[in-house]
Each structure stands twice: as structure tokens, then as C-alpha cells.
DNA sequence: ACCTACCTGGCC
DNA sequence: GGCCAGGTAGGT
């Protein structure tokens, strides 16, 4: 479900909803969603924590616990993960795995049907250096994401463009929807080999990644099936998708039927005429 | 640089 | 019943 724009939407809403609150109760309904430390230690460390800030890194949500130097409650939503902030007595959505009671009477809840999502607790830098968290590449909406930074990612691999852009170690936060959308905007086929892209194509890709992600953030994410913000409202970016989910339909630029195939193990849609 | 596994649910 | 799904992680 969630790629950078959906995670960013959740982060911004969480910031307004939980910063300044204290965790006064922790109920872990399924230990296996905690990646680090074990369930008992996780619960003990989170209980009483002060929620000082909320940040995003790639597709990870960091809820900074101001109490202790740099420790954060870290959430990855996987495919179907969902966070919400609701009244304590609100009915539990199916597959709720963690309930954090807050000092204002509400609860921060994590639910995830497929259980590809995870929660962790610890200092992010330490978790990363010790291999608990994976390495992440450049943030595509930061000043670090220059055309040269994308060039460095694309020139270092012999894989397809699709595979390279999905790899979180290169550019952090892209997923299946926005890779296809950016490739369409840049008029480059996802199955192209990175090394064979021209300088002009790499420059178009850089610009396309930024505009596609910025527009999706402005639209509060894409809700095709599962994605909902912490208030359970869908995003609006599904209206803006030009290729994802439109296989066989006419290209919005040239009316050629869009093609669909598996590339880098993922369903991929592109225009055989506009995209080279 | 690939492939498969991990899960559940929804659709055909 | 089989196939597909917005994501990784681990093994070859």
C-alpha cells in the first residue's frame, strides 16, 4: 500500500495528533510484529514514553521518544499496515496488533492484515549500523536528490530501471506505483537497462520522480484499496495516476493501449508508444 | 542480480 | 481453487 507520499501523509497527521502526548498503556496483541527488541522489552520501553516528534525516512515512520537520546518507535507499514489515532473505546479494526494508550484518552493503533509491516524501538542510527534496519538511499524530496545523485544510482548497476528505482538503497521511498508513474512522465520504459539510459533520459527521470512524488503528497497519497490516513480518510492521488492500474486502457498522451508485464518481479504498466 | 517466501483478502 | 495485490528479506 504505502509508498513515500502515503507515509508522508501519515507522518504529517501524526505530528499534529500525538506530539506532546505520553504513552500510558501498551497492549501488544501479536508479538511477531515487533522486530526489535522482544515483545516484553518493547512494551516496557514504550510504556511511559513521551512522543516528542514524528519524522519520515524512506517508508519508515519514526516517532521520536524525547525521553531518551534519539530512541524512536519506528513503524514500517508494509503492504497493508495502518496507523490510526482513535478514542479508547472505538471498535478495533481487524488485525489490530498494537494499541498505545495516550494521556489524552485516545489510542495510537497499528493494524496490518498481511503482517508485512513491522514496529521497532531504538535509536535509528544504532539500529541501522547494527543491521536491524536496512540501509536507505537518498531522500527524493530533499536537497540531496540532485540529478547527479540519481546518476550515481543509475550508473552503478546493470539492472533494469524498474529494479533500480524500487531498491530502497538507491532512492528511498519509491514503490511500484510511483516508479511506473515517474517512468511514464519521463517517457522511459521501466525495463530499460540503467547503464544504457542517456543523460537526457536520466535528467527527465530526476524531474519526473520529484514532480510525481510532490503531486502525490499534495493529494495526500493514493488510495486504490487499503490506504487510509490516520482519520480513516482516503487520499486523492488515484485520480492523477496515468499508468498504474490502467493496463489495456488508452494512453492519456497518445491513446495507444497501455501494456502490462512483470518487470523486476512486479506488475508494470507503460505506454509502448510514448515510452522508449 | 534474480527468485521465492512471507500473509490475508478480494476477485474471477 | 487460482491469481493478484501499494513491500521487504533471505537464499542462491
**Residue A59 is a catalytic residue:** yes
Confidence of residue A69 (pLDDT cuts 50, 70, 90): low
What confidence tens digit (pLDDT) does each residue in A19-54 have? 999 999 999 999 999 999 999 999 999 999 999 999
Asked if strand C comes closer than 7 Å to A29 Cβ, the answer is no
What are A202-240's pLDDT values in tens digits?
Answer: 999 999 999 999 999 999 999 887 789 999 899 998 999
Task: Write out which nucleotides of chain B lie closer than 7 A to a protein Cβ.
Answer: 1-4, 6-9
Q: Please state whether strand C lies within 7 Å of residue A1 at its CB atom.
A: yes
CB A128 within 8 A of CB A135: yes
**Helix A199-218 with A147-155: angle, nearest 10 deg:** 120
Nucleotide with minimal C1' distance from the CA of A80 is C6
Query: Which residue, A133, A125, A189, A186, is CA-closest to A161?
Result: A189
* CA-only gyration radius of chain A, Å: 20
Measure the N-to-C terminal CA separation of chain A; round to a whole number of Å. 28
Where residue A2 falls (left for φ over 0; alpha for ψ -120 to 50; beta otherwise) is beta
Q: How many CB atoms lie within 10 A of CB A236?
A: 14
Distance CA A184, CA A193 (A): 16
Contact by Cβ (8 Å): A234, A228: yes
Amino acid at each position: 500500500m504505502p509508498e513515500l507520499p502515503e507515509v508522508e501523509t501519515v507522518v504529517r497527521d501524526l505530528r499534529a495528533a500525538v506530539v506532546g502526548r505520553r504513552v500510558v498503556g501498551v497492549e501488544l496483541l501479536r508479538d511477531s510484529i515487533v522486530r526489535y527488541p522482544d515483545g516484553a522489552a518493547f512494551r516496557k520501553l514504550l510504556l511511559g514514553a513521551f512522543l516528542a516528534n514524528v519524522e519520515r525516512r524512506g517508508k519508515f515512520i519514526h516517532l521520536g521518544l524525547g525521553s531518551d537520546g534519539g530512541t524512536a518507535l519506528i513503524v514500517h507499514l508494509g503492504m497493508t499496515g495502518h496507523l490510526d489515532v482513535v478514542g479508547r473505546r472505538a471498535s478495533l479494526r481487524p488485525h489490530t496488533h498494537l494499541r498505545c494508550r495516550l494521556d489524552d484518552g485516545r489510542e495510537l493503533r497499528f493494524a496490518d492484515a498481511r503482517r508485512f509491516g513491522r514496529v521497532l524501538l531504538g535509536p535509528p542510527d544504532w539500529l541501522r549500523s547494527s543491521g536491524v534496519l536496512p540501509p536507505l538511499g537518498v531522500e527524493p524530496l530533499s536537497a540531496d536528490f540532485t540529478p547527479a545523485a540519481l546518476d550515481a544510482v543509475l550508473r552503478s548497476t546493470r539492472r533494469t530501471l524498474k529494479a533500480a528505482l524500487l531498491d530502497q538503497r538507491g532512492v528511498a521511498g519509491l514503490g511500484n506505483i510511483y516508479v511506473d508513474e515517474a517512468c511514464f512522465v519521463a517517457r522511459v520504459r521501466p525495463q530499460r537497462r540503467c547503464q544504457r539510459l542517456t543523460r537526457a533520459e536520466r535528467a527527465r527521470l530526476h524531474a519526473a520522480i520529484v514532480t510525481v512524488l510532490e503531486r502525490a503528497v499534495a493529494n495526500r497519497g493514493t488510495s486504490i484499496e487499503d490506504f487510509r490516513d490516520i482519520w480513516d480518510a482516503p487520499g486523492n492521488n488515484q485520480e492523477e495516476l496515468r499508468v498504474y492500474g490502467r493496463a489495456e486502457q488508452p494512453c492519456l498522451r497518445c491513446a495507444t493501449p497501455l501494456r502490462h508485464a512483470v518487470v523486476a518481479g512486479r506488475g508494470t504498466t507503460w505506454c509502448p508508444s510514448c515510452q522508449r
